[in-house]
Amino acid sequence: MQAGTAMGNLVSAIGIRAEDAALVAELKAGSEEAFAQLIGQYSQPIYSLIARSLQDPADAADITQDVFIKVFRNIGSFHGDSSLRTWVYRIALHEASNQRRWWKRHKKQEITIDGEFESDDPGETFLLRDTLASRDGSPFDKAIQSEMRARVEAALHEVPESFRTVLILREIEGFAYDEIAEILDINMGTVKSRLMRGRAAMRQALETREALESEQRAAASKRATEKWLEAAR
């Protein structure tokens, strides 16, 4: 059974690489249709990756455009040592890193930034990628999902950048450990270490936010009760 699964995975991987090769050949030949296909396939996940990697997500659209310009200009240097997807993500993270450095030098003074994770219900867990994916549901479900997504997005930006990047690539983008190691040019042990520490930091950030929100709710409830009692006198 395991041998059959492994063979199936191998065949699938070969098929994907063959598709990559055909697309790369067209890109190198200057095909506008191939470039449009590349943008259609990767623009949304690359945009999401960059938005979660930057201090100011408003810059994500411009940086995403820069990524595809770099891809277009440098496709001739792509020799298939990695998958096309891995190569594009590597460029995206490099551009995001450049933007973070620029932001620290020029914009930091302008604004301030106010696997599985445990949920608010004891014994319940949730996947990071699930909270950040849009899903259909009732208006109540959507409101709860939106609230959770906002909380997770905010907590995610509190995780140190090196850990956050691995967390995004693994839990949200679904890259394998070896692909992450290839994208970031680090060894597998470092990937696993950063992922473990990123999960721990994410948990801590979520717990801190939950505690703060609980305090704020309690304070608001107290003020409302005092106001009601004063009006009732």
For the domain made up of 1-114, the CATH class stated in words is: mainly alpha
Q: Which CATH architecture has domain 115-233?
A: Orthogonal Bundle (1.10)
Q: Residue 206's closest CA among 116, 117, 112?
A: 117
Residue 126 β-bridge partners = 117
198, 166 in Cβ contact below 8 A?
Answer: yes
Average pLDDT over residues 219-226: 69
Average of per-residue pLDDT values in the chain: 76
The answer to whether 1-114 and 115-233 have equal CATH topology is no
| pLDDT for the residue 87 | 93
Q: How far apart are CA 144 and CA 69, in angstroms?
A: 38
183, 214 in Cβ contact below 8 A?
Answer: no
pLDDT-wise least confident of 20-34, 73-87, 94-108? 94-108
- Percent of all residues in the chain with a pLDDT value above 90, rounded to a whole number: 30
183, 175 in Cβ contact below 8 A?
Answer: yes
| Annotated domain spans of the chain | 1-114, 115-233
pTM reported for the whole predicted model = 0.62
Q: Residue 174's closest CA among 206, 210, 130, 108?
A: 130
